[in-house]
């Protein structure tokens, strides 16, 4: 009898043909499983591919005694109780490779949209109140500006490549400083976080959500930034104190923010929706046809390799 692998969200089944050759693949008929149907499947599954919207809690794992691996569909895994999984002998993997380029691309697109006021001008045209004067609709250029990247991992490095196209000076802050050779090859300068915030024209966030990074950006940090500075967050919503950000935007402590992620999403702080100096997208950093296919492939490959005893998986515990 084939082992059962549960996929928490509805995805194109053709993405998982490789998985279905080896396992019985179970996924919901609609976007998510009804609670009753999920309860029937949990005791019978050996593996799970979970979206970041599905909380894999200790209680969920307790209802799945045969569960051996939880493969996060995305790079983030803060929806999974990794400590509880480790106690139960359950392996957790994530999916860092496929999300790299699309997330970096989206971060750069948000920078451009915010700096050049593209969504704001689009709304004005559609609503019939666009202004056409030479000194109207003035944005700011990215060319030659200073970009501060907080989190110089794979995605941060990819964003740096986009910044090079705009001839931006790039500061970075990371838990571990890169070697001098790496800094020289990438054309980046290390800075303490306070220094980065004070000197950057745009700050782009690329950190995982951990107890240490939660609300790393709050009222104190916004006061350090230039009044003309822009904040871009494509990482995790709770790395930024959303209420403090809304207030900083309202009073002009910083000029604007572009966010793809939010605290408590899909709910969004109403104040952020009411501001004109925000650009907001509903966690679409990886939402391309090509990326979804690659994410499915890599998540399935982690499952297959795990059960084949191959250690070459994206293991996080």
Give me the pLDDT at residue 32, please: 87
The answer on pLDDT for 76 being more than 90 is no
Tell me the per-residue pLDDT of 131-162, one tens digit each, with 9 for 90 and over: 999 999 999 999 999 999 999 999 999 999 99
Tell me the per-residue pLDDT of 51-65, one tens digit each, with 9 for 90 and over: 988 999 999 999 999
Give me the pLDDT at residue 30, please: 87
Give me the pLDDT at residue 314, please: 96
Q: Which fold has domain 100-280?
A: Rossmann fold (3.40.50)
Global pTM?
Answer: 0.89
Active site residues: 236, 265, 283
Give me the pLDDT at residue 31, please: 87
* Mean pLDDT, range 241-270, rounded to an integer: 97
The answer on pLDDT for 215 being more than 90 is yes
Tell me the per-residue pLDDT of 89-117, one tens digit each, with 9 for 90 and over: 999 999 999 999 999 999 999 999 999 99
Ranges of each domain in the chain: 4-98+289-307, 100-280
**Res. 303 pLDDT band, cuts 50 70 90:** very high
CATH architecture group of domain 4-98+289-307: 3-Layer(aba) Sandwich (3.40)
Tell me the per-residue pLDDT of 15-26, one tens digit each, with 9 for 90 and over: 999 999 999 999
Mapping DSSP onto H, E and C, the string for the chain reads CCCEEEECECCCHHHHHHHHCCCEEECCCCCECCHHHHHHHHHHCCEEEECCCCCECHHHHHCCCCCCEEEECCCCCCCECHHHHHHCCCEEECCCCCCHHHHHHHHHHHHHHHHCCHHHHHHHHHHCCCCCCCCCCCCCCCCCCEEEEECCCHHHHHHHHHHHHCCCEEEEECCCCCCHHHHHHHCEEECCHHHHHHHCCEEEECCCCCCCCCCCECHHHHHHCCCCCEEEECCCHHHECHHHHHHHHHHCCCCEEEECCCCCCCCCCHHHHHCCCEEECCCCCCCCHHHHHHHHHHHHHHHHHHHCCCCCCCECC
pLDDT above 90: percentage of residues in the chain: 95
């Amino acid at each position: 009898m084939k082992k059962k692998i549960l996929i928490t969200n509805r995805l194109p089944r053709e993405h998982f043909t490789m998985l279905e050759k080896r396992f019985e693949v179970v996924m919901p008929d609609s976007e998510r499983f009804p609670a009753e149907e999920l309860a029937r499947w949990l005791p019978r599954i050996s593996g799970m591919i979970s979206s970041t919207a599905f909380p894999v809690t200790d209680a969920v794992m307790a209802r799945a005694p045969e569960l051996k691996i939880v493969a996060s569909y995305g790079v983030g895994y803060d929806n999974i109780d990794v400590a509880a999984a480790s106690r139960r002998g359950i392996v957790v993997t994530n999916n860092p490779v496929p999300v790299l380029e699309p997330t970096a691309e989206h971060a750069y697109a948000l920078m451009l949209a915010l700096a050049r006021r593209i969504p704001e001008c689009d709304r004005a045209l559609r609503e019939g109140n666009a202004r056409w004067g030479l000194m109207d609709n003035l944005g700011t250029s990215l060319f030659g500006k200073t970009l501060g990247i907080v989190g110089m991992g794979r995605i941060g490095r990819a964003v740096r490549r986009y910044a090079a196209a705009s001839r931006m000076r790039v500061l970075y802050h990371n838990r571990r400083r890169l070697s001098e050779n790496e800094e020289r090859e990438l054309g980046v300068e290390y800075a303490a976080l306070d220094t980065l915030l004070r000197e950057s024209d745009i700050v782009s966030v690329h950190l995982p959500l951990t107890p240490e990074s939660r609300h790393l950006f709050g009222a104190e940090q916004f006061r350090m930034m230039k009044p003309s500075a822009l904040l871009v967050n494509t990482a995790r919503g709770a790395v930024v104190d959303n209420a403090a950000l809304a207030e900083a935007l309202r009073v002009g402590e910083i000029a604007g923010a572009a966010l793809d992620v939010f605290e408590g999403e899909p709910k969004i702080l109403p104040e952020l929706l009411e501001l004109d100096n925000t650009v907001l997208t509903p966690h679409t950093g990886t939402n391309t046809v090509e990326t979804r296919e690659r994410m499915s492939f890599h998540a399935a490959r982690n499952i297959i390799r795990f059960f084949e005893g191959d250690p070459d998986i994206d293991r996080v515990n």
